Amino acid sequence: MEKFQSMEYGPAPEDASGVMQWLDAHGRWFGHYIDGAFTKSSAAKFESKNPATGELLASIAQGEAADVDRAVKAARAALPAWQALTGHQRARYLYAFARQVQKHARKLAVLETLDNGKSIRETRDIDIPLVARHFYYHAGWAQLLGDVTDNGYTGDTDLKGYAPVGVVGQIIPWNFPLLMFAWKVAPALATGNTVVIKPAEFTPLTAMLFAEIADEIGLPKGVLNVVNGDGATGAAIVGHPDVDKIAFTGSTEVGRIIRKATANTTKKLSLELGGKSPFIVFDDADLDSAVEGLVDGIWFNQGQVCCAGSRLLVQESVAERLYDKIRARMETLRIGSPLDKAIDIGAIVDQVQHDRITKLVAMGVAEGATCWQPEIAVPTKGLFFKPTLLTNVHPSSTVAQEEIFGPVLAAMTFRTPAEAVELANNTAYGLAACVWSENVNVALDVAAQMKAGVVWVNATNVFDAAVGFGGYRESGYGREGGVEGLYEYLEPAWVKSEPKMFASIDEKQVLRSAQDDNSGVDDHIEGALGIDRTVKNYINGKQARPDSGYSYAVHDRNGKVVGEAPVGSRKDIRNAVEAARAASAKWGKTTAHGRAQILYYLAENLLPRRGEIVAHLADFVGPEQAAVEFDATIERIFSYAAWTDKYEGTVHNPPFRMVSVAMKEAIGTVGILAPDDAPLLGLMSLILPAIAMGNAVIAVPSERCATLMSDLYQALDTSDVPAGVVNLVAGKASELGKTLAEHDDVDAVWCFRDETASSMVKLGSIGNLKQTWTNEGRVIDWFDPARGEGRWFLRHATQVKNIWVPYGE
């Protein structure tokens, strides 16, 4: 009777004794898992505590550079045998992982809860099932990709011809310790790579249990290596010269450090960083569902979720009503021992994070926000933080812009859908967004305008292995999950064996001047006589004199001056970027069919000028190559006109009452540094996929052949390519490339020049974490359509946005 009257829950604690025994059996002291063996070699240790009680769970080794080196060597040594297995054999290992995770589900869930402080309800029902699902899903990919040969995977998938990158270094955070581990390890192993992974220092325990599972299933030694430690250990992995790729999830700050640390290397990089994701509620939304969504959006995992719906944007007319409902629901949230099965909100992972949340909330209040917390019981001991609602938040205030990473919701209002979109995108991040409306037109219209890698319609924080996850803008690049996530661990099989640029300089007829920064561009010509061609830059659909007022002499392959090209400067690049930014919004919305028409028209307008263009090109590459190159360029234009409406999105089928529409969206503005060999075909092979997919470009043509530009802009003018979609700025590639790479309004830079230029571009990209794509100084055979065009290019010209929509029963 008493219970019925109060409706209070009794305690329902999960039994942790099995896990405690496991910890005791290990002497509460964990080292690393390297080359199939558990080691306790490292002297330095740190402590892993239960944040709900402060109890010491275990001591952990701090991995030294020597440990990382041993792990990388083991991973390298294991690579050939791992890749020699058939796809089916690899699939069996991934499948075995999935099965063992299911068998050990309870132990893993309890250990995760103890180590991280998240509720057992979540580890049991979300984290661990998703870990198993991830291995099942990727077992499927291992099977379908097939064997790894010199020509790449043999299986009949879109990834045929791709090959694994090699040894992968992975660094993960503490908010979903085992789930992030699975997100990293499953695709890497399924694609035939070997792994060195570092768990977060706060939460290393489930990774150690997982390493035991690797032993149990007989995973070949060295295929998976786990090195424990903090940021210094992470930095040692990042800095190890024999690692081919780094995959990182964590703070944007560390993401930048890693981008910088890898800029001078050929390591591939994917970054999954922070977010400040909008949770948009329209006046016609089912408000009660939206409130439940918020519980999952911001109070799930104590708000320590990179894609947490931490910014509530609510239509003004329903704001007060929604706030009332939210407050009422917050009063019913239960906060307490994470091992209690009836608890909603567990403990914050560490004192550092608790302090940070406390500080940010105080800052929000100081900035004018109203802070509200429910009158609910909170344990007096342990790191607990009450669910918190901040209203009257100004969109530019700290709590609206900075990731709090705690159970704190910052609420703002809007009046129109346009204002909602503007507020939602008013952030440097772009990880996720969700839209609540019963009107399908409003919901999908807003979803299309979100600058975010994941958009949930009438749902939030739903994840699945089949659906890519990852950000736009400063939330990073690369995807995890789905076919889109596999690309992070692959490269076309032929790429690695291509010669380095300038190594075969004579054969390729690449001019000497292109190698170094002191090329012809320094030969300023002011009004030189007897030169027949003087070209200008091409910005916003117009020929534009260079801001410097200088031109430089362009020589033919025999050293004779054939014309003058402008010496472009920072100012010209800035103008071109401005034009590209303005043009990109409209061009991105032009239909694929419309873009195809314009590309066909471009080919049509170039064709009648074949004789003249071939003659110009012949100055640089000789008549024979010139004719072939022109014809190949026309064919390439046709190819990309064809691709515009054929490089399509996918529909993923997660095991829920939803589908996820994986749209391939334009990135925005793309800076291009074109190669010197095949000066026309190389340049166009980069411009075309970018514009075919709806981007606007700022291209720096080959420095030594820049007079060729004029042949292009005449054709662009007459082909209805909208002003600003293609901008051409000539000059020193090194200087212009740096400006492009550092420009905050450039969304991606592609560099197909030498290694120095590749590093410079990566280094310059740190500011806004723009995507970079470089050939790492390798020569690309532009004449071979299997290498110089197609999906490899189109993939870099797009980013995948997954829009989850309710579907079916």
Q: Determine if 405 is a binding residue for ligand NAI (CB under 6 A).
A: yes
Q: Determine if 779 is a binding residue for ligand NAI (CB under 6 A).
A: no
Is residue 666 helix, strand or coil?
A: strand
Among 36, 164, 274, 478, binds ligand NAI (CB under 6 A): 274
Residues 104-123 close enough to bind ligand NAI by CB under 6 A: none
Q: Which residue type does 456 have?
A: W
Q: Determine if 298 is a binding residue for ligand NAI (CB under 6 A).
A: no
CB of residue 269 to ligand NAI, shortest distance in Å: 12
Nearer to ligand NAI, 177 or 731 (CB): 177
Whole-angstrom CA distances from 468 to 41, 130, 146, 486, 696 are: 38, 14, 22, 9, 25
Nearer to ligand NAI, 144 or 261 (CB): 261
Q: Determine if 238 is a binding residue for ligand NAI (CB under 6 A).
A: yes
Residues 436-495 close enough to bind ligand NAI by CB under 6 A: none
**Dihedral sign computed on CA atoms, order 146, 148, 150, 152:** positive
Among 167, 178, 269, 273, binds ligand NAI (CB under 6 A): 273
Whole-angstrom CA distances from 536 to 310, 482, 509, 576, 711 are: 49, 45, 26, 13, 11
Nearer to ligand NAI, 235 or 409 (CB): 235
Among 195, 200, 708, 730, binds ligand NAI (CB under 6 A): 200
Q: Determine if 303 is a binding residue for ligand NAI (CB under 6 A).
A: no
Tokens of 36: 């199939």
**Phi and psi torsions of 512, nearest 5°:** -55, -40
Tokens of 745: 């309004």
Q: Of the ranges 229-237, 388-396, 538-546, 602-610, which one interacts with ligand NAI (CB under 6 A)?
A: 229-237
Tokens of 651: 């529909």
Nearer to ligand NAI, 204 or 722 (CB): 204
Question: For ligand NAI, which residue has the nearest CB?
Answer: 234
How many whole angstroms separate alpha carbon 242 and alpha carbon 231? Answer: 19
Nearer to ligand NAI, 172 or 501 (CB): 172
CB of residue 406 to ligand NAI, shortest distance in Å: 8
Among 64, 403, 665, 677, binds ligand NAI (CB under 6 A): 403
Number of residues that bind ligand NAI (CB under 6 A): 26
Q: Of the ranges 62-70, 88-96, 250-258, 491-499, which one interacts with ligand NAI (CB under 6 A)?
A: 250-258
Q: Give the per-residue SS3 of 424-455.
A: HCCCCCCCEEEEECCCHHHHHHHHHHCCCCEE
CB of residue 105 to ligand NAI, shortest distance in Å: 23
Tokens of 789: 């065009």
Nearer to ligand NAI, 305 or 319 (CB): 305
Among 52, 101, 254, 662, binds ligand NAI (CB under 6 A): 254
Q: Determine if 228 is a binding residue for ligand NAI (CB under 6 A).
A: no
Among 36, 169, 234, 724, binds ligand NAI (CB under 6 A): 234
- The DSSP string of 217-255 is TTPPTTSEEE---SHHHHHHHHH-TT--EEEEES-HHHH
CB of residue 391 to ligand NAI, shortest distance in Å: 22
Nearer to ligand NAI, 485 or 682 (CB): 485
Q: Would you name the residues annotated as active-site residues?
A: 272
Buried residues in 262-276 as b, exposed as e (16+ CB within 10 A): bbebbbbbbbbbbbb
CB of residue 305 to ligand NAI, shortest distance in Å: 7
Q: Of the ranges 79-87, 194-202, 213-221, 671-679, which one interacts with ligand NAI (CB under 6 A)?
A: 194-202
CB of residue 252 to ligand NAI, shortest distance in Å: 7
Please, are residues 450 and 442 in contact by the beta-carbon 8 Å criterion? no
Q: Of the ranges 19-27, 135-143, 169-177, 668-676, which one interacts with ligand NAI (CB under 6 A)?
A: 169-177
Q: Of the ranges 245-253, 461-469, 514-522, 634-642, which one interacts with ligand NAI (CB under 6 A)?
A: 245-253
Cα 455-696-761 angle, rounded to 5 deg: 90
Q: Determine if 86 is a binding residue for ligand NAI (CB under 6 A).
A: no
Q: Determine if 283 is a binding residue for ligand NAI (CB under 6 A).
A: no
Nearer to ligand NAI, 155 or 231 (CB): 231
Residue positions counted in the chain: 809
Q: Which residue type does 398 have?
A: T
Residue 66: HSE in the Cβ half-sphere, 13 Å Cα cutoff: 6
Q: Determine if 239 is a binding residue for ligand NAI (CB under 6 A).
A: no
Q: Give the per-residue SS3 of 696-764.
A: EEEEECCHHHHHHHHHHHHHHHHCCCCCCCEEECCCCHHHHHHHHHHCCCCCEEEECCCHHHHHHHHHH
Nearer to ligand NAI, 279 or 414 (CB): 279
Q: Of the ranges 233-241, 462-470, 477-485, 594-602, which one interacts with ligand NAI (CB under 6 A)?
A: 233-241
Give Cα 746 to chain centroid, integer Å. Answer: 16
E runs forming strands in 112-209: 148-149, 152-153, 162-164, 167-171, 194-198
Q: Determine if 250 is a binding residue for ligand NAI (CB under 6 A).
A: yes
Residues 574-633 close enough to bind ligand NAI by CB under 6 A: none
Q: Determine if 692 is a binding residue for ligand NAI (CB under 6 A).
A: no
CB of residue 239 to ligand NAI, shortest distance in Å: 9
Whole-angstrom CA distances from 545 to 51, 534, 550, 736 are: 64, 10, 9, 16
Residues 342-381 close enough to bind ligand NAI by CB under 6 A: 353, 356
CB of residue 46 to ligand NAI, shortest distance in Å: 11
Nearer to ligand NAI, 414 or 472 (CB): 472
Q: Determine if 435 is a binding residue for ligand NAI (CB under 6 A).
A: no
In 299-433, where does DSSP find H-type helix? 316-330, 351-366, 398-401, 417-424
Nearer to ligand NAI, 198 or 801 (CB): 198
Q: Which of 39, 65, 353 is nearest to 203 (CA)?
A: 353
Q: Determine if 408 is a binding residue for ligand NAI (CB under 6 A).
A: no
Among 75, 167, 196, 257, binds ligand NAI (CB under 6 A): 257
Q: Determine if 251 is a binding residue for ligand NAI (CB under 6 A).
A: yes
Q: Determine if 173 is a binding residue for ligand NAI (CB under 6 A).
A: yes
Among 143, 170, 206, 249, binds ligand NAI (CB under 6 A): 249
How many whole angstroms separate alpha carbon 540 and alpha carbon 717? Answer: 10
Nearer to ligand NAI, 230 or 419 (CB): 230
Among 101, 171, 454, 691, binds ligand NAI (CB under 6 A): 171
Buried residues in 584-611 as b, exposed as e (16+ CB within 10 A): beebbebebeebbbbbbbbbebbeeeee
| Residue 377 DSSP one-character state | -
Q: Determine if 130 is a binding residue for ligand NAI (CB under 6 A).
A: no
How many whole angstroms separate alpha carbon 163 and alpha carbon 589? Answer: 34
Among 163, 235, 674, 725, binds ligand NAI (CB under 6 A): 235
Burial of 809 (0-12, 13-18, 19+ CB in 10 A): exposed
Q: Determine if 309 is a binding residue for ligand NAI (CB under 6 A).
A: no
Torsion, Cα 148 151 157 163, to 10 degrees, reads 60
Please, are residues 661 and 805 in contact by the beta-carbon 8 Å criterion? yes
Nearer to ligand NAI, 116 or 537 (CB): 116
Residue 271 parent element (H or E) = strand 268-272
Long-range contacts of 574-577 (CB under 8 A, 24+ apart): 574/739, 574/743, 575/539, 575/540, 575/544, 575/547, 576/537, 576/539, 576/540, 576/698, 576/727, 576/729, 577/669, 577/671, 577/698, 577/740, 577/743, 577/745, 577/746
Interacting residues toward ligand NAI by CB under 6 A: 171-175, 198, 200-201, 230-231, 234-235, 238, 249-251, 254, 257-258, 273-274, 306, 353, 356, 403, 405
